[in-house]
A = this chain, B = another copy of it.
Amino acid sequence: MSATAVRALSYENINPHVKTAKYAVRGELAVRSEEYRAKLAKGEGKDLPFDTVIAANIGNPQQLDQKPITFFRQVASIMENPELLEKEEVLTSGLGYKPDVVARAKKLLAAVKSVGAYSQSHGAPAIRESVAKFIERRDGYPAEADHIYLSAGASSGVNTLLHIISSKPETGILVPIPQYPLYTATLAVLDARVVPYYLDESQAWGTNLGEIKSAYDKAVAEGTDVKAIVIINPGNPTGASLPAEDIRSVLEFAAEKKLVVMADEVYQTNVFQGEFISFKKALRDLQKEVPKKFDNIELASLHSVSKGMVGECGHRGGYFELIGFDEKVAAEIYKFISIQLCPPVMGQCIVEMMVNPPKEGEPSYELYKQEYDGIFEGLKKRAHALYDAFKQMEGVSCNTPAGSMYLFPTITIPAKAIAQAKKEGRAPDEFYCFRLLDATGVCVVAGSGFGQKEGTLHFRTTFLAPGTDWVGRIVKFHKEFMDEFRD
């Protein structure tokens, strides 16, 4: 045994691709905020200049007091304890469960047998059927249960798809910048290439076809085998909601260059401006309008129970639909996910309820609608309160809230602050975010964690935290920060 290596594993000899991966959403800032939270919870931290920590770094609504949708959880409680069905009288009169709650629990139990049993690797057949019907209703085009793959949140679906596509170190995937770092982190682990294309902040963070083309051409010139393009719509971290023409131009480009389209559509119900258009619908429209050109396009569309008004992050439910994939490729996807057996079965059940909620006229509808709309309006209101605050802040500019759960303002900070950041060995936006956390307890994520154009600075904040007090904390901090470093 040498003196330097007493163990089998050291930072030096583990998987270098894991080391390369970066995932700022749960990085150093988040860790420090958790330390503050733990300190306060223990009654310590009298020295801290705040009394609560605001986790605006991650879209985790139920950690921030968002109440789950009653129908989902009543059904889930029966799924966990099916013996409750033997006391239907107690359920309905004692606990106030409506008949459609009981009926749904019975239907889902028939579909999965037990939430404690493994399902098929890509999910219980009846749940995949229900997802297919939802997609048909949403888009007005057929969908097939065999092409639906349930997953442990959308993250697991992204992991699966990138595993299949990344065949060699030269494989490249077009990824929007800024992006949710799941993409760059997973590609780092897979030792494949990120081909970054910048979103256009001046056009409400839309996709710019010229930008995509030049990113593609540059990558090809460098020997990259570009196989796919990722789009996150509505946008994370940008808060954008793509217009029809952006979606079409991406599909045109993908058809022309033969690229798999990975549409991350987990925020499809979080749209405050315009309407959500799925890539599937846009593709089917194009296929009708333009003969042949779009016949062989491959599209994977991802969805999740973690976002929207559902917010059931902890249940790890999601799905992806494969459109136009070769059957032999789909068989390899099936085998790959089989190695991890199956996605959480309760998460699958929540997916089913998300895509097939109580309908008008059904007993649970009214409460469902009231809760759903209440969450939607609350998110919209807080998005605008935050946006209004950003508008007043010196050196801060932000696009109008359009979709998802985030705002991603640009910040311009004094040269002295940038110099201080450099002195402390931090990116300037990271420096700003640490200062914000230390002064206010508000945890956001620095723009550098998502990627941003050289020379620009941003941060991402959710608008999930209740109340508006914390928005005031940001405004006050920002003024003091600007004053402190003013030239």
Contact = CB atoms under 8 A, between A and B. Distances in A.
Interface string A140-181: 000000000000110110010001111100000000000000
Contacts of A1: 258, 296
Contacts of A9: 164-165, 227, 260, 298, 325-326, 329
A152 B121 contact: no
Given A23-B335, A326-B9, A335-B21, A155 B189 contact: no
| Chain A interface residue bracket vs B | 35 or more
A239 interface: no
Contacts of A11: 326, 328-329, 332
A305 to B, nearest CB: 9
Contacts of A232: none
Interface string A116-136: 111111000100000000000
Interface in A278-307: 295-296, 298, 306
A84 interface: yes
Nearest to A82: B73
Contacts of A16: 167
A34 interface: yes
A76 interface: yes
B339 A315 contact: no
Interface stretch (A60-68, A402-410, A444-452, A453-461): A60-68
A71 B455 CA distance: 57
A343 B329 contact: no
Contact of A114 (B68, B70, B113): B68
Contact of A336 (B21, B119, B182, B228): B21
Nearest to A332: B18
| Number of copies of this protein chain within its complex | 2
B344 A314 contact: yes
A228 to B, nearest CB: 7
Interface of A: 1, 5-11, 13-16, 18-19, 21, 23, 25-27, 34, 38, 58, 60-63, 68, 70, 73-74, 76-81, 83-84, 87, 90, 94-95, 112-121, 125, 152-153, 155-156, 159, 163-167, 182, 185-186, 189, 227-228, 258-260, 295-296, 298, 306, 311-316, 324-326, 328-329, 332, 335-336, 338-347
A73 to B, nearest CB: 5
Nearest to A15: B167
A351 to B, nearest CB: 13
Given A95-B87, A296-B7, A344-B315, A15 B112 contact: no
B341 A344 contact: no
A159 B83 CA distance: 36
Contact of A329 (B14, B83, B329): B14
A223 to B, nearest CB: 16
A155 B115 contact: no
Contacts of A73: 80-81, 83
B298 A23 contact: no
